[in-house]
């Protein structure tokens, strides 16, 4: 089995790993590094539960090979809080009641943070567009959208790259 040595930054910490050719970024996060906030919903690029920021872009981590992430910057849901303070989108989604089973929540938080980083005043249409790839089976989306609108009105944490 071919393996590869990679170096990447995950939530601000540099990691060096040896990964097999076929391992996905999602598998690496969950199995190799025990960073389990990122969820495995479909493993097929359909649900968005596995969304992380890859060099600042929301990305389905089940569709990217770990070896492709050499020298990359990854942010998972664990990396959203800063200095012990939740990101405004994390506070807002709890306050708005946008979490039920919570399985979709990490991916939605990442997609929402990426949206707010590039567009601090999104319209409802912008929010719906940004969350198109994040499926939720529980909430009906209304409260999630409300949470993003509320978070947009709060002082944002500095954009992540
Ligand atoms: S687990 Fe990756 S898109 Fe569903
Ligand atoms: S809260 Fe259950 S899937 Fe979204």
Tokens of 117: 């980083």
Using CA positions, which residue lies closest to atom 4 of ligand 2? 136
What is the distance of C-alpha 135 from the center of its chain?
Answer: 13
> How far is it, in rounded angstroms, from Cα 104 to Cα 2?
33
Does the beta carbon of 141 lie inside 6 Å of ligand 2? no
Beta strands (DSSP E) in the chain are: 3-10, 13-20, 51-54, 57-60, 73-75
Per-residue pLDDT of the chain (161 residues; tens, 9 = 90+): 899 999 999 999 999 999 999 999 999 999 999 999 999 999 999 999 999 999 999 999 999 999 999 999 999 999 999 999 999 999 999 999 999 999 999 999 999 999 999 999 999 999 999 999 999 999 999 999 999 999 999 865 544 44
Q: Which of 112, 102, 118 minimizes the C-alpha distance to 146? A: 112
Q: In this structure, which ligand is nearest to the CA of 41?
A: 1
Does the beta carbon of 50 lie inside 6 Å of ligand 1? yes
């Amino acid at each position: 089995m071919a393996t590869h040595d990679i170096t990447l930054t995950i939530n601000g910490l540099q990691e060096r790993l040896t990964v097999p050719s076929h391992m996905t970024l999602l598998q690496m996060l969950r199995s190799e590094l025990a960073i389990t906030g990122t969820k495995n919903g479909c493993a097929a690029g359909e649900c968005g539960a596995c969304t992380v920021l890859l060099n600042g872009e929301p990305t389905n981590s089940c569709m990217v090979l770990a070896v492709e992430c050499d020298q990359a910057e990854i942010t998972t849901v664990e990396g959203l809080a800063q200095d012990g303070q939740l990101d405004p989108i994390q506070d807002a989604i709890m306050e708005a009641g946008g979490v039920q089973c919570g399985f979709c929540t990490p991916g939605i938080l990442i997609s929402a943070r990426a949206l707010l980083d590039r567009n601090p005043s999104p319209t409802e249409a912008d929010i719906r567009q940004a969350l198109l790839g994040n499926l939720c089976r529980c909430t009906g989306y209304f409260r999630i959208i409300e949470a993003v609108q509320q978070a947009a009105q709060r002082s944002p944490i500095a954009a992540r790259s």
